[in-house]
Amino acid sequence: MEKKTYTISVYSENNVGLLNRISAIFLKRHINLESFSTSESEIPNVFRFVIVINITPDKVHKIVQQIEKQIDVIKAYYHTDEETIFQENALYKVKSSFLFEERQIQNIIKASHATIVTVSPEFFVIEKTGFREETEQLRKDLSPFGLLQFVRSGRISVTKAKMGISEILNTFKNNN
């Protein structure tokens, strides 16, 4: 079976140790993660992990089953890129002198729809949100000018389909 990029979304209790438990599932199977991020979700006190992996369809299914089996996981889903809206965020730190001396740089920023976050006498910071190819292109374009720092966040994504976590939690409330 052919490998594909999948976004795994995990809704969970915010529990010390759950991060370890979830990463142990990948470790045990010798699977590399493309990216991993966590945050609050739309529901108070419910957390959301977004994990990106490149893997075959049968394997992603089994992994999601294992994740969902963890006591503190409320629900886990997996989706293909077509089923999600996703973005990454990147920061680029460049020497300020370039901004004024190299005309080219201003054109690059403009063309890439990046925003300038801050400017100081020594450096300035550009921010770009978008697909991997877009943040990557900007990195390539800026690197001739000597990037002082570059960092890209893990993927964050929302699904086109409904998640139904509140329904799950309500069912528990009503049954107990």
Partner 1 sequence: MKNHKNQKNQKSPNDSITISGAEAVIRCLLAEEANLVYGYPGGAIMPIYDELYKYKDQLHHVLTRHEQGATHAAQGFARTSGKVGVALATSGPGATNLVTGIADAQIDSTPMICITGQVASHLLGSDAFQETDIIGISTPVTKWNYQITKASEIPEIMAKAFYIARSGRPGPVLIDITKDAQFEMFDFNYVKCTGIRSYWPNPPLNTNHLEEALQLINEAKKPFIVWGQGVILGQAEQEFKAFVEKSGIPAAWTILGLSALPTDHPLNRGMVGMHGNYAPNLLTNECDLLIAIGMRFDDRVTGDLNTYAKQAKVLHLELDPAEVNKNVKADVALITNCKISLKALTKRISKNTFPKWLKRFDALDVIENEKVIKGDLFPIKPGITMGESIAMINKYTKGDAVIVTDVGQHQMVACRYAKFNQSKSNVTSGGLGTMGFALPAAIGAKMGAPIREVVAVIGDGGYQMTIQELGTIFQQQVAVKIVILNNDFLGMVRQWQQLFFDKRYASTEMTNPDFVTIAKGYHIEAERVEKREDLDQAVGRMIASEKPFFLEICVEKENNVFPMIPTGASVSDIRLE
Part of the chain binding partner 1 (CB under 8 A), chosen from 114-122, 124-132, 135-143, 167-175: 167-175
- What residues contact 167, with CB distance under 8 A and at least 6 apart? none
Does residue 166 interact with partner 1 by CB under 8 A? no
Does residue 174 interact with partner 1 by CB under 8 A? no
Part of the chain binding partner 1 (CB under 8 A), chosen from 11-19, 29-37, 81-89, 139-147: 11-19
- Residue 154 has phi, psi (to 5 degrees) of -70, 165
Does residue 73 interact with partner 1 by CB under 8 A? yes
Given a contact cutoff of 8 angstroms between Cβ atoms, the answer to whether 10 and 49 are in contact is yes
Does residue 68 interact with partner 1 by CB under 8 A? yes
Q: In the complex with partner 1, which residue's Cβ is closer, 149 or 166?
A: 166
Q: In the complex with partner 1, which residue's Cβ is closer, 61 or 103?
A: 61
Does residue 173 interact with partner 1 by CB under 8 A? yes
Question: What angle, 0 to 180 degrees and rounded to 10, lies between the N-to-C axes of helices 103-112 and 132-142?
Answer: 180
- What residues contact 3, with CB distance under 8 A and at least 6 apart? 54, 55, 56
Binding residue for partner 1, selected from 20, 32, 39, 174, defined by CB under 8 A: 20
- Residue 159 has phi, psi (to 5 degrees) of -95, 155
Q: Within 10 A of 51 (CB to CB), how many other CB atoms are there?
A: 26
Positions in the binding site for partner 1 (CB under 8 A): 12-17, 20-21, 24, 27-28, 61-62, 65-66, 68-69, 71-74, 169, 172-173, 175-176
